[in-house]
Amino acid sequence: MDATLVADALSKSFTTGAVRTDVLRDLSIEIAAGELTLVSGPSGCGKSTLLAILSGLLRPDGGRAFALGQDLARLEPAELERFRLQHTGFVFQGFNLFPALSALEQVMLPLGYLGLGDALARRRAGDALAEVGLGSRMQLRPAELSGGEKQRVAIARALAKEPQLLFADEPTSALDAANGQIVIDTLHRIARTHGATVLCVSHDPRLVGHADRVLAMEDGRILADRRVAASRSP
Amino acid sequence: MVPLARKTLVHEWRRFLPSALAVAFSGLLLLVQAALVFGIFNSSAVYIRKSGGELWLGYPGTQSIELGRPIPQQAEIAALMDPAVERVEPFNWIDGDWRGPADKGGVSVFVSGIDTRSDALMFADALTPALRALLDEPDGVIVDRADLPKLGLDVGGQAVVNGHRVRIVGVGSGLRALGGVNIVTSLATSRRLDNGDSDGRVAYYVVKLRDGSDAAAVRQRLQPRGQARRFEVWTRDAFARRAVAYWMFETGAGLGVVLLAIVVFVVGALITSQTLMGAVAGSIREYATLHALGVGFARLRRVVLEQAAWVGAFGLVVGGVATALVVLLAHRRDVPVQLDLVTVAICATLVMGIALLSGLAAVRALRHADPALLLR
């Protein structure tokens, strides 16, 4: 199995005032397509920083990050934006939906920037919303949706781009158990059916059982890397 | 393409309303100020513009009509001798002290002595032949309707100017000018009111040229040369522009106007940019998400600038309507206001400038749209 995301001896530190904190220490990992990889660990263990570097949002201090075989350090900022636009989707803890737009428009928006025509964007957005179970609520604005529904709109927004890489940062933290379950199942299904690389970062222990692979992180290092035998088929 | 900028404007109109109103008020202030300034300053040229004739002869260096001094009669003779000149009409201009009803005290007035023939040049566009004929009554004067309250009199009322009794025989409109009340009399009456100070000389001669004459060329011929010039010749337009320029630039009023316009611009831009920045800051997480999804800053910038442009357009329309109402009201009250297309275009450009500059300032708030802020 080819790795679509590769971290090679990554290191990163932040300086706050006189205090220097090493967030990632010589971290190497390979992540494959077609499965949901969960990075879990306590707050401040560096898991979000790892996600940011592998998704091209952040540059490491040392080491190299490859995504889809591309050395991210070699890309100019504009090329990096282009790379993200074409290949990546993001789901964040906050849903970050524009209050003025309906669910359908939220999903169509990035597709327009991708250069898709209105008709195609509308069809793809509709399909993505149907896939996350919101086919009947496409015309509603965020204020009319529940938290779980909003997160599913955010997932549809990431999914409609048909990205090869999907990054999720604490996607279930703001949700109750039932909605959290729906969201993680959706992410899992996306990995399986779309063959996408799904990298999910969370400290939510409920998610462990739903991942194909769990990386336990602490103090900027990966302590354990295990496959979850019980992971269900789509 | 989902029209994010417009949808957000409509949905969050309360957020954008202050900036739109700031733009509208800036536009209103700029336009009304311009209308008033041009109205008032052009009224200094109103006597020139509302009269016939192509050339004016007056005291050398005279900067504005109310600064006229008596000139020698040889000016008239010189003009009459030019083959292109059809007619020369004297126009007298003297200062006066108006004493009307006791409770109004003294009022400084300018007395215009004009030819009363029906085809006379002076005030050809402001006074009807019938009104003009009324001035043939000895000591009869015409005043602007809007000045009646200031004088405390009505038509038929009597007052004393420079020691001579006069009677208001009619009212006109468009006779108001800067600096005081203007009253119109016949040439004969004006000479009497002058107490003989000017030895029968008048302040101006207005010259009508034969059809097809080149006013500039005739002006060149009539213009006296050498040190001892005793009068000067201007084309009508040049003299009118001189008057406006004098009030605009020599009195300091113009500088005040420019300063006020700058203040309006800066204040408008400050309020608008703050509001737009607030709007950007309010959606910063959404913008950051788009940025994470690969939408570049240039495209996000366009969203903000488009919002600024809409805010500007809305403010322009509201400000324009409000200005139209104010100008209408001013016309009804005989307040001199004047707006031409060029002025409106300049003000509109300034107003859109306010909105777009504010948009550019607000764009800087986008720098905070860093996807890293979305990660825990």
pLDDT in tens, B81-97: 999 999 999 999 998 89
A157 part of contact set with chain B, CB < 8 Å: yes
Q: pLDDT for A86-144, tens place per residue?
A: 999 999 988 999 999 999 999 999 999 999 999 999 999 999 999 999 999 999 999 99
Give dist(CA A121, CA A129) in Å, integer: 12
Q: What is the mean pLDDT of residues B246-273?
A: 85
Please check whether residues B33 and B77 belong to one and the same domain.
no
Please check whether residues B76 and B193 belong to one and the same domain.
yes
Judge whether B284 lies within some domain.
Answer: yes
Domain that holds residue B19: 4-43+252-374
What is the length of chain B? 376
Q: Of B235, B148, B220, which is closest to residue B183 (Cα–Cα)?
A: B148
Lookup: tokens for B305: 């600038």
- State yes or no: pLDDT of B61 exceeds 80: yes
Q: What's the whole-number average pLDDT of chain B?
A: 88
Q: Of A63, A36, A32, A35, which is closest to residue A49 (Cα–Cα)?
A: A63
Please indicate whether, in this complex, the C-beta atoms of A169 and B293 are within 8 angstroms of each other.
no
Judge whether A29 lies within some domain.
Answer: no
Domain count for chain A: 1
Judge whether A5 lies within some domain.
Answer: no
CB contacts under 8 A, A 33-52 vs B, are 43, 48-49, 51-52
Residue A109: per-residue pLDDT:
94
Q: 3-class SS at A25? A: strand
Residue B178: per-residue pLDDT:
63
A185: left (phi over 0), alpha (psi -120 to 50) or beta: alpha
- Compute CA B160 distance to the chain's CA centroid, rounded to the nearest angstrom: 32
Please indicate whether, in this complex, the C-beta atoms of A100 and B4 are within 8 angstroms of each other.
yes
Residue A229: per-residue pLDDT:
66
Q: What's the whole-number average pLDDT of chain A?
A: 92
Judge whether A191 lies within some domain.
Answer: yes
Residue A234: per-residue pLDDT:
44
Please check whether residues B175 and B304 belong to one and the same domain.
no
Please check whether residues B146 and B10 belong to one and the same domain.
no
- State yes or no: pLDDT of B80 exceeds 80: yes
Please check whether residues B23 and B142 belong to one and the same domain.
no
ipTM comes to 0.90
User: B177: which strand partners?
Assistant: B180
Residue B323: per-residue pLDDT:
94
Measure Cα distances from A72 to A52, A54, B137, B270, B309 in Å.
12, 8, 98, 41, 37
Lookup: tokens for A102: 């309906």
- State yes or no: pLDDT of B176 exceeds 80: no
Q: HSE of B33 in the Cβ direction (CA atoms, 13 Å)?
A: 21
Judge whether A132 lies within some domain.
Answer: yes
Q: pLDDT for A14-43, tens place per residue?
A: 888 889 989 999 999 999 999 999 999 998
Q: What is the mean pLDDT of residues B283-310?
A: 92
Q: pLDDT for B127-165, tens place per residue?
A: 888 999 999 999 999 998 888 888 888 899 999 999 999
Specify the amino acid at residue A21.
T
Judge whether B51 lies within some domain.
Answer: no
CATH number for A86: 3.40.50.300
* Residue B214: Cβ-neighbour burial (10 angstroms; 0-12, 13-18, 19+): exposed
Please check whether residues B305 and B363 belong to one and the same domain.
yes
- Least CB–CB distance from A89: residue in B285, B291, B293: B293
Quick check: B373 and B285 in contact, CB under 8 A? yes
Banded pLDDT at B25 (limits 50, 70, 90): very high
Give dist(CA A92, CA A99) in Å, integer: 16
Q: What is the mean pLDDT of residues B314-342?
A: 90
Banded pLDDT at B177 (limits 50, 70, 90): low
In chain A, residues with a C-beta closer than 8 Å to the C-beta of B371 are: 52, 57, 90
Give dist(CA A57, CA A53) in Å, integer: 6
Q: What is the mean pLDDT of residues B159-188?
A: 86
Q: What is the mean pLDDT of residues A50-77?
A: 94
Judge whether A31 lies within some domain.
Answer: no
Domain count for chain B: 2
Judge whether A89 lies within some domain.
Answer: yes
Judge whether B241 lies within some domain.
Answer: no
Q: 3-class SS at A21? A: strand
Q: 3-class SS at A125? A: helix
B375 part of contact set with chain A, CB < 8 Å: yes
Banded pLDDT at B256 (limits 50, 70, 90): confident
Please indicate whether, in this complex, the C-beta atoms of B372 and A82 are within 8 angstroms of each other.
no
Please check whether residues B274 and B128 belong to one and the same domain.
no
> Residue A105: closest CA among chain B residues belongs to which residue?
B2
The three-state (H, E, C) secondary structure of chain B, written as one string: CCCHHHHHHHHCHHHHHHHHHHHHHHHHHHHHHHHHHHHHHHHCCHHHHCCCCCEEEECCCCCCHHHCCCECCHHHHHHHCCCCEEEEEEEEEEEEEEECCHHHCEEEEEEEEECCCCCCCCCCCCCCHHHHHHCCCCCEEEEEHHHHHHHCCCCCCEEEECCEEEEEEEEECCCCECCEEEEEEEHHHHHHHCCCCCCCCECEEEEEECCCCCHHHHHHHHCCCCCCCCCEEEEHHHHHHHHHHHHHHHCCHHHHHHHHHHHHHHHHHHHHHHHHHHHHHHCHHHHHHHHHCCCCHHHHHHHHHHHHHHHHHHHHHHHHHHHHHHHHHHHHCCCCCCCCHHHHHHHHHHHHHHHHHHHHHHHHHHHHCCHHHHCC
Residue B339: per-residue pLDDT:
87
Judge whether A2 lies within some domain.
Answer: no
Q: What is the mean pLDDT of residues B105-125?
A: 88
Please check whether residues B298 and B328 belong to one and the same domain.
yes
Measure Cα distances from A216 to A14, A202, A204, A224, B118 in Å.
21, 10, 12, 5, 105
Please check whether residues B344 and B226 belong to one and the same domain.
no
Residue B310: per-residue pLDDT:
94
Please indicate whether, in this complex, the C-beta atoms of A113 and B283 are within 8 angstroms of each other.
no
Domain that holds residue A170: 36-48+82-227
Q: What is the mean pLDDT of residues A194-210?
A: 91
Residues 6+ apart with CB under 8 A from B145: B171, B172, B173, B334
Q: What is the mean pLDDT of residues B193-209?
A: 87
Please check whether residues B225 and B257 belong to one and the same domain.
no
Please check whether residues B88 and B14 belong to one and the same domain.
no
Please check whether residues B78 and B136 belong to one and the same domain.
yes
Please indicate whether, in this complex, the C-beta atoms of B290 and A112 are within 8 angstroms of each other.
no
- State yes or no: pLDDT of A230 exceeds 70: no
A-B contacts (CB, under 8 Å) = 95
Residue A231: per-residue pLDDT:
47
